[in-house]
Structure 1
């Protein structure tokens, strides 16, 4: 009997527009963003997004291309700009919507460290959630410290000689 090579290709399914969709890519970004938004568990996010838990689970596992209505719901719930889910399925990057009430931009967007964590297959979703939360908090602290330092430098430059 010949040796069987393991399949390592990522799931790619037919997309609504007839093209091919990288469902695993969307799954990686979706889970990372869901956790970033504070939804450590699928049921709460599914409810907030207005999609069924089964649908969300299939999408997060790379098994389903979302319908047009689900795409719109996910873009909104993930606080991504409209069209970001489709862009991600096509191999692009999601774009976070800018919220007018945000005092600072702490986006993690396409942070390669978060993507690395979410693509790890040898750790649990709970561990992934904890690691992502720690990395996001560290990034925010570093950005806040950098902003404070920049303000100090500006203040120093404004002092009369």
Structure 2
């Protein structure tokens, strides 16, 4: 009897975990970006429990996937990368600012300004999440 495991589509959880790792996100960071709990994210990746549809928007945004990607995966398709450059640009800006914040060779004043920028980036991401939820995407 032939083994057809190689023909099987990866699960939603497997695709989510791989994308999170590809983006260099921790579970905590990904969950925060998606506006869900760490436990919900862990269950999503493990396939332990179905994720509720109202969480899809945040998860797709955290993974830089286009809206509807999770439903496409559930139907046997593949996720579509988001076309919005701002997500990628914002991630790059955050990485650069974190480097300033963590650099012990920078003055306390510079590190403090970097920390303030990181807080603004976090607030911006939260506002984007709220806006997407309000749109009902």
**Normalising to structure 1: TM-score of the pair?**
0.45
Of the two, which has the highest radius of gyration?
Answer: 1
Tell whether 2:5 aligns with 1:25. Answer: no
Report which of the two has the higher share of helix. 2
In structure 2, runs of 5+ residues without a counterpart are 90-137
Which secondary structure state, in structure 1, belongs to the residue aligned with residue 36 of structure 2? coil
CA deviation map 1:67-107 (0-9, x unaligned): 1221111111111110101111221100001134679xxxx
User: Could you tell me which of 50, 61, 71 is aligned with 1:86?
Assistant: 71
Instruction: Structure 1: state its 5+ residue gaps.
Output: 1-8, 10-21, 104-161
CA shift for structure 1 position 63: 1.4
Aligned match of 2:42 in 42, 51, 57? Answer: 57
Q: Distance in 2 between matches of 1:64 and 1:91?
A: 18
Native 8 Å contact 2:16 2:45 kept in 1: yes
Report the Cα distance in structure 1 between the residues aligned to 2:85 and 2:24, rounded to whole angstroms.
20
After TM superposition, list the pairs within 5 Å mapping 1:42-121 onto structure 2: 42-100=27-85
Distance in 1 of aligned mates of 2:16 and 2:66: 13
The alignment covers a number of residue pairs equal to 81
Among candidates 16, 28, 34, match of residue 20 of structure 2: 34
Q: Distance in 1 between matches of 2:41 and 2:35?
A: 10
> Considering only aligned residues, what root-mean-square deviation do their CA atoms show, in Å?
2.3
Q: TM-score, normalised by structure 2?
A: 0.53
Secondary structure at 2:11 match in 1:
helix
Question: Separation in 1 of the partners of 2:62 and 2:30?
Answer: 8
Contact 2:33/2:58 (8 A) holds in 1: no
